Amino acid sequence: MKKFLSTKDVAQFLGVNEKMVYTLVAEKGLPATKVTGKWLFPRYLVEQWLENETINYPKPTISLPPYQGLLVITGSNDILLDRTISLFNRMHADHLAVFGNLGSMGGIRALRRNLCHIASSHLLQENGEDFNFGFAEEELEQLPAVVNFCKRQQGLLLAKGNPKKIRSIADLDKPGIKIVNRPLGTGTRLLFDTELKKAGIIGDRITGYQLELARHLDVGLEVLSGRADAGPGIEAVAGLLDLDFIPLRWERFDFIVLKDRFFEKGVQLFLGLLPEAAFRGLTQDLKGYDLSLCAKMIFPRK
């Protein structure tokens, strides 16, 4: 199976003519890169784009059983969330919270398929000002309950002392720079690709761009070991591993819950932890978190 498709290949794959392929690139964001004057299309990105453009999903044939003590959370990886799940399990011996690390989009899709109670997400919307609502409404066909978990600082993780003198996203395009990345469907990858596009950089040209790691901490460990010069991640990892950090933006990290599950006991017990002192104390040794919106119901901006 070819890793990269030509314009003709993509036209055959999508069942359209080649002229329509160019229209999809320009107007619908079909992933493509131009090399020596010719368009090339990474196959896995084309498949991802096609899935993202799909509407009218079939109704799920499976459903979570009535709540009996097992709380399932899926979505975006986060250090504070890991600690919160551990706190929940310590405080509520008759309940068990488990986490599926699927990335923000994967969490929302698991919610759509009734595979989880809560999805964790930080997907930046096209307006660059808000998070999660558009993705959730498009995937779920209705706006769910959205409760803020935290705001956190996203940026670039760098080796201590910044030996490669990386000052901004634009410096990643310099010769000799090696990075590590997060998977497609994660909010961190979405932000990183957005920033690369702003800087006029084609990600595939950066060594290590296609090396995807599942957790923020994994990215930090690659940089700490010297196997990568930089990688997208949260400031909390830089603080824990004593790495340098270039901030890119504060983001809102939310919990998304279908309205018919919002008042289930496990969901309410978990959300009920957020105002407690025991939870607030979890951030004492973590940089890059802001809990000013934590536990508040979030509504779309008008």
Q: What is the pLDDT along the chain (302 residues), one digit of tens a residue?
A: 567 888 888 888 888 888 788 888 777 778 888 777 788 888 877 877 776 665 555 555 556 778 899 999 999 999 999 999 999 999 999 999 999 999 988 998 899 888 999 999 988 766 666 565 677 777 677 778 899 999 999 999 999 999 999 999 999 999 999 999 999 888 899 899 999 999 999 898 999 999 999 999 999 999 999 999 999 999 999 999 999 999 999 999 999 999 889 999 999 999 999 999 999 999 999 999 999 999 999 877 65
213, 284: one domain = yes
44, 99: one domain = no
The CATH number linked to 218 is: 3.40.190.290
221, 296: one domain = yes
Position 16 in a domain: yes
93, 144: one domain = yes
45, 74: one domain = no
Q: Give the phi and the psi of residue 174 in degrees, each rounded to 5.
A: -75, 150
With b for 16 or more beta-carbon neighbours within 10 A and e for fewer, the 188-204 pattern comes to bbbbbbbbbeeeebebe
Cβ-contact 148, 294 below 8 angstroms? yes
The CATH number linked to 24 is: 1.10.1660.10
230, 88: one domain = yes
Residue 246: give the domain boundaries. 65-302
What is the rounded distance in angstroms from the CA atom of residue 216 to the CA atom of residue 243? 13
What is the rounded distance in angstroms from the CA atom of residue 100 to the CA atom of residue 183? 15
